[in-house]
Structures are given as C-alpha cells and as structure tokens.
Amino acid sequence: MAKPNKTQATNNNVLDFINQQPENRRADCLRLVELFSAITNAPAVMWGSSIVGFGNYHYKYESGREGDFFHAGFSPRKQNLTIYIMAGFGNESIMKRLGKYKTGKSCLYVKKLEDIDEAVLTELVEFSIEKINKRYPPAKEV
C-alpha cells in the first residue's frame, strides 16, 4: 500500500494560524484568504501545520500513487509569502504581467502581496485550477 502524503487537510483553525504570524504578514494572509475563497468558491483549510489551502482535487498518477490535494494555497514563510499554484507556471503571458516574484516548481515566492498584481494573480490561479481539472476531472455528483 502506498504511503499517504505528508501534507494532509487538518481541522486546525486558519484564523488562529494567521494570527500567530508576524504583523507584517497577517494582512497579506487575510487578503489571500478573501481572494482564494472567492476564486475557488471554497473555504480556507489548514493543510499540515503551515499551509492554507482552498478547494481540492483527487489525483492518480500512472505509477498508481493517488491522493487528495488543494487547488491553490499559501504559506507565510520567514523570507517570502509562498503561493502554491498547483499546475505550475505554463502561461507566459500571465507571468509577464504578474509583478515582482520568483518561482519554484509550483511555488510563487513574493516578499509582500503588493509586489504583484492581484487581478493577474486571480487569472493565474483560475488558469491553474482549469488545468488541474482537465488533468483530474472533479467527481460528478450523483
């Protein structure tokens, strides 16, 4: 049997987590909760001890490994605000307009939210969710 993901949804309180952050990160976190909740039409959920995720999808790789993960999320880190764009960064026209950032595989690193354009971030998250839903279609309600 395959090992489950280390990062799982929890029942931890999102606002308690945000209120524990340094003052300079709290406003950005609260704004991202507002923004991502609107984009995903899903509540904020703690994933592990330090990631706030929104929405979810079930994936299954060709290897047989499968699990659940969030559509979009963020984590306030010491150096950067890490924003998780689960489909990666395949749309260059969006990225050119985003603002000041660095990227990892599925991580967008920003010093502060004001360094990027929120409307373009919204477009990027919507693009990512669309791409994820094509690869792993949502279960049909019965």
Indicate whether 87 belongs to any domain: yes
pLDDT of residue 31: 97
Indicate whether 123 belongs to any domain: yes
Indicate whether 104 belongs to any domain: yes
Residue 142: pLDDT over 60: no
Residue 30: pLDDT over 80: yes
Indicate whether 40 belongs to any domain: yes
pLDDT digits (tens, 9 = 90+) for 85-114: 988 888 899 999 999 999 999 999 999 999
Domain containing residue 76: CATH number: 3.90.1150
DSSP string, 89-114: S--HHHHHHHBS-EE-SSEEEESSGG
pLDDT of residue 42: 96
The proportion of the chain whose per-residue pLDDT surpasses 90, expressed as a percent, equals 73
Indicate whether 52 belongs to any domain: yes
Structural domain for 115, as ranges: 23-135
pTM for the whole thing?
0.91
Indicate whether 108 belongs to any domain: yes
* E-only strand ranges, the chain: 44-47, 51-54, 57-60, 66-69, 72-76, 81-85, 102-103, 107-110
18 close to 26: Cβ distance less than 8 angstroms: yes
Q: Count of domains in the chain?
A: 1
User: What whole-number distance in Å separates Cα of residue 111 and Cα of residue 128?
Assistant: 21
